[in-house]
Amino acid sequence: MDKKTILSIESSCDETSAAVVVNGREVLSNIISTQIETHKKFGGVVPEVASRMHTEVINEVVQKALKEANVTLEDIDAIGVTYGPGLVGALLVGLQYAKGLAMATKKPLIGVNHIEGHISANYIQHKDLKPPFVSLVVSGGHTFIVYVKDYGVYEVIGQTRDDAAGEAYDKVARALGLGYPGGPKIDKLAKEGNPYAIDFPRARFAHEETLDFSFSGVKSAVLNYLNKAKMQGIEVNKADVAASFQNAVVSVLKDNVFLTCEKKGLDKIAIAGGVASNSALREALISEGEEKGIKILFPAPILCTDNAAMIGSAAYFRFIKGEESSLDLNAKPNLKL
């Protein structure tokens, strides 16, 4: 097979990342500069601050990615970059850098959808993975069930109507006083709690024949529960709250993704996005997958969180189909899959 080397850039939220990926599956470097410590002070990502910080580090991150991969710009076949969805100011930093580089080197530019990137992390982790399969993309900004029909060919089966799963984790964690980002903290605390202690609501839209999600109801129920306890002077068991909240979220994610497999007759589920690191989600999917003969695939945690290697993989599969983006490509904060 012809060897194709992609330099990729990701800056859609609070990670500035650059990677060098060969043939969509082999990562030569994946440099990630995270702004988490800065945004922690504000309890969430501040868009203006994120853009400025991307600008400060992007050149260094790209140079490090080339150096660590032991390649020069001459060895690169194409430049992949996230152009949406995400924070517009943050996206523009990576996109403008990539466009400048593409113009100077006369290499093709390939715009990548961030969600497609998350799904593609699975091609890096699982070298034999080929479509068709179902992907569950769960991150701080997105919750999607996607039927991956072929490389770059997607059908969205379900999505959240309000909060993303990770967003609900972050908001509940904040209410529990656990800090940002809240997902990993709830995951850890929940291990000490009883998942059946409190019956938080689970939104299902089965009667509408959709596999959409809603997490604002469960989030509000947790906040109400905490407020009520505070007003009554009752001390809450935080571990029980965390475990019960997590149980409500994980059970709808799990049920809807297995229903998709049933509907489409598929036997592989590839999880993606920051929440894919959640241990309860992993355990629940693996255990039901074993029962139903459905294979569950996860990327390593470093490929679950925002990173440029996943963008390089997605860009490769577009590149070999002959796709190329124009140098007029603009950032699309609400880009659809």
Binding positions are 114, 118, 137-141, 170, 183, 187, 278, 306
The residue written with tokens 């019960």 in the block is: 244
Write the binding mask 264 to 293 for ligand KG4: x where contact by CB under 6 A, - elsewhere: ---------xxx-xx---------------
Paired tokens of 288:
């039901």
- Residue 16 phi, psi dihedral angles, 5° rounding: -100, 125
Q: Which window, 93-101, 132-140, 230-238, 314-322, contacts Zn ion (CB under 5 A)?
A: 132-140
Q: Is residue 306 near Zn ion by the rule CB under 5 A?
A: yes
Q: Is residue 141 near ligand KG4 by the rule CB under 6 A?
A: yes
Q: Is residue 116 near ligand KG4 by the rule CB under 6 A?
A: no
Q: Is residue 167 near Zn ion by the rule CB under 5 A?
A: no
- Sheet containing 133-138: order of strands: 153-159, 143-150, 133-138, 268-272, 295-297
Please report, in range form, the residues annotated as the binding site for Fe cation: 114, 118, 306
Q: Is residue 193 near ligand KG4 by the rule CB under 6 A?
A: no
- Which of 97, 133, 147, 169 touches ligand KG4 by CB under 6 A? 169
| H or E element that contains 25 | none
The secondary structure of residue 235, as a DSSP letter, is P
The Cα–Cα gap between 163 and 80 comes to 29
- Please report how close the Cβ of residue 263 comes to ligand KG4 at its closest, in angstroms: 26
- Please report how close the Cβ of residue 302 comes to Zn ion at its closest, in angstroms: 13
Interaction partner, residue 278 (Zn ion, ligand KG4, none; CB < 5-8 Å by kind): ligand KG4
Q: Is residue 13 near ligand KG4 by the rule CB under 6 A?
A: yes
- Checking 42-45 for CB contacts under 8 A at 24+ apart, the result is 43/174, 43/180, 44/170, 44/180, 45/13, 45/14, 45/87
